[in-house]
Amino acid sequence: MTTPLLEARGLSKHYPFPRSVRQWVGNAPARVLRAVDDVDLTVESGRTLGVVGETGSGKSTLGRLLLRLERPTSGQVLIDGSSPDTAGAARAHQLRRDVQVVLQDPYTSLNPYLTIGSAIEEVLTVGGMTSREERRARVAELLEQVGFPAAWSERKPGQLSGGGRQRVSIARALAAGPRLIVADEPVSALDVSVQAQVLNLFQRLQRELDLAYVFITHDLAVLERIADRVVVLYLGRVVETGPADALFAGPAHPYTQALLNAAPALGRSRSTSSAVAGELPDPASPPAGCTFHTRCPFVMDVCRTTRPRLTPIAGGLQAACHLHEGSTPDPDPPATP
């Protein structure tokens, strides 16, 4: 088996709640919010892993952990099987450059006073490109890669549309020479027609540069178009994962089914972040057993007390649901002579 480009093993991020004086005096146990809880995932070179879930499901926290912008409470992130924490300095530097970010809001991620050429050049300088001529040539190349004429390097972010600013964010991420981009809701702030253009750009760059993506969104319709594999998060835990084709053809977990029923096709209208019936529980005190049991139309007694484990089912999918426990996955395909 080949080593994945990116792997998360047992990744968790728990945020402690400050205790009130009364809780402190009463010696009440410290409470934590399990934003990300024991998540395993892998991303292969040149492929797209989609991460989906409602608001507060832990998508951005997971993204920050993969980008190493936050330290995990437990678990680890490996790139090519190595952790930047234990690699030598030069290797750790390279591993960090391998994974870059594109965020939802290019308004806040770009400095309004810098020309877009300078914003991209900044990344090249930090990356150690000392020759000004080389940097200028590379900026022109990157602008062209994201669909802009080189002459636009003198424009300021305010002179561009939302989609244009997102292209600049992508060019900045590319300037570091990454092998993987973590894109957190990169098209959610854009009009539907512009969304399609930016998704096309992501797909073209993937083909041209063999890039891998972790594509974070609350919109399954976006993932149907772009993802090879999908991870569905609910209250910080993976409830379903597997190949995108199988998941869209027959989602196994009732939560994925509800998300999919609520998601209109790309290009018609956008899904909302609260499209699933029932109230999202307080993430600080999630329900016992299956955390989805308060909203699930198939809830059984066991669901209220026992947490289901991720279980392999047909089509390469895995779901954490008592409905699927004991199900038999597809047998291995017969060996070809």
Ligand X SMILES: Nc1ncnc2c1ncn2[C@@H]1O[C@H](COP(=O)(O)OP(=O)(O)OP(=O)(O)O)[C@@H](O)[C@H]1O
Name the residues that contact ligand SF4, by CB under 6 A: 253-254, 290, 292-293, 296, 298-300, 303, 308, 321-323
Among ligand SF4, Mg ion, ligand X, none, the one that 53 touches (CB under a kind-dependent 5 to 8 A) is ligand X
Separation of alpha carbons 195 and 210, rounded Å: 22
Among the candidate windows 48-56, 163-171, 196-204, 322-330, which touches ligand X by CB under 6 A?
Answer: 48-56
Choose the one of ligand X, Mg ion, ligand SF4, none that binds residue 254, judging by a C-beta under 5 to 8 angstroms depending on kind.
Answer: ligand SF4
Cβ 55 vs Cβ 276: under 8 Å: no
Q: Decide if residue 33 touches ligand X (CB under 6 A).
A: yes
The smaller minimum CB distance to ligand X, of residues 48 and 104, is found at 104
Kind of pairing between the strands at 48-52 and 212-217: parallel
* 123/321 with CB nearer ligand SF4: 321
- The answer to the question of residue 316 lying near ligand X (CB under 6 A) is no
* Closest to ligand X by CB, 143 or 235: 235
When CB distances are held under 5 to 8 angstroms depending on the partner's kind, the choice from ligand SF4, ligand X, Mg ion, none that residue 303 binds is ligand SF4
Residue burial 172-202, b: 16+ Cβ < 10 Å; e: rest = bbbbbebbbbbbbbbbbbbeeebbbebbebb
- Give the residue, chosen from 35, 175, 211, 259, that forms a contact with ligand X under the rule CB under 6 A: 35
Residue that is written with structure tokens 């609350």 in the block: 218
- Measured CA to CA in angstroms, residue 261 lies from 136, 172, 230, 254 at distances of 48, 36, 16, 10
Q: Which region, judged by CB under 6 A, interacts with ligand X, from 53-61, 92-100, 199-207, 241-249?
A: 53-61
How many residues bind ligand X, per CB under 6 A? 14
188 touching ligand X, by CB under 6 A: no
Nearest to Mg ion of 59, 165 (CB atom): 59
User: Out of 283, 312, 315, 316, which residue is the one contacting ligand X (CB under 6 A)?
Assistant: 283
Cβ nearer to ligand SF4, comparing 153 with 241: 241
Q: What count of other Cβ atoms lies within 10 Å of the Cβ of residue 321?
A: 24
Beta-sheet pairing, 99-102 with 180-184? parallel
Instruction: Single out the residue of 288, 221, 297 nearest to residue 259, CA to CA.
Output: 221
- Give the nearest distance from C-beta 33 to ligand X in angstroms: 5
Chosen from ligand X, ligand SF4, Mg ion, none, partner binding at 143 (C-beta under 5 to 8 Å by type): none
| Cβ contact 147:167 at 8 Å | yes
Give the Cβ contact number of residue 265 at 10 Å.
9
Binds 57: which of Mg ion, ligand X, ligand SF4, none (CB < 5-8 Å by kind): ligand X
| Contact present, 84 and 95 (Cβ < 8 Å) | yes
Query: What is the rounded CA–CA span in Å between residue 37 and residue 139?
Result: 40
Residues in contact with ligand X by CB under 6 A are 15, 33, 35, 53, 55-61, 218, 273, 283
